[in-house]
Structure 1
Amino acid sequence: MFKTLSRKTVYQNRWMKLHEDIIERPGGIEGLFGVVEKPDFSAIIAVDNGHIHLVEQYRYPIGQRSLELPMGGWPEQPDADPLALARGELQEETGYVAEHIEQIGYHHVDNGGGTMGCNVFFATGLTFSGRNPDPEEADLEPMTLPLTEFERRIKDGEILDACTIACYGLAKLKGLV
């Protein structure tokens, strides 16, 4: 079992904390770990009539636009109910409200360096009610693709967001798409 000997918060903002931990591994060997602490978020696979609803936005860390599932968290409510978060993010980013939405899984996003996890939801029975994007997401563009086109873009390396690919893979394995 790993033992934390000390923890120092080296950076913090409203979205995350970065800790530097001194740890002791089994066998007594000490080490250093950088740990990014972020709250969990929800990702939504919204499918209607053989089409999937996505968003495209600029991702500053990679310096390019990214096509991905609607997803997100609320920094001001880090303990928000995952279902409420999923419903809110779907409507905010795509403008759609789901008649049926269910959690189909959960996964760790970067278990080698961070605490953040993703609650995975599957949504159907979609009705457009109007977008309400966060001001920080002004460049976010909703997009709808046929499932076959979406899968082709994953296979061809045009969709590179690991969370989007993992969530869709889970839905596919469960026979939902």
Structure 2
Amino acid sequence: MDEKERKKQYTAEVFTAAMVMGLGLFVVMFLQYLLRDAGGVLSLLLSFATFAVVVAVLIIYGRRAAALCPPDPQRRPNGFTYGRAFGFSVLVSLLSGIVYGAGYFLLTEVIDPQFYGSTIDQVAQLYVSSGLMTAEQVQAAVALMHNLFVVILANMIAMLFQGGFVALFTSAIVRHRPNNFPQNPQGL
């Protein structure tokens, strides 16, 4: 495969991984919403499901990206290094924040705005009563939470940090180094 085709496939892997991660996180969030009164072990499992989605996507698609970046003496002498794997994972996490943020906005503004509105009001009252924010600051913050672009940007930043932290570990798993030792040196 030539370099142009490889880059095209690599870009497709980035966007596919971001879409899968964003949709997976939205499904987990929607299940948490539907089963919010279940409690017990199910709530605990759904709490870990978010982490599991992020780890699974970064490892599965990271390995697919590593397969697209074999060692090349001129372009990639060290193959798919830890740094490349980390960059791939951070980019996927950042882009998945767009899908996840849009899903979050859909859930909070279209599917059940009353439930989330009452939750936001309770939190706002806690901030005002504890003196962390004034009533005007709370009103401004609540107004921002109803803006699609602000929600998407906030989720992108959150996914950047969350995915970046997980990528510190998953990048070590998916990196692909060249084989510096031949299989059968000198006919042995």
TM-score by length of 1: 0.22
Higher helix share: 2
Greater RCO between the two (CA within 8 Å, min separation 6)? 2
Structure ranking higher in strand proportion: 1
**Higher Rg:** 2
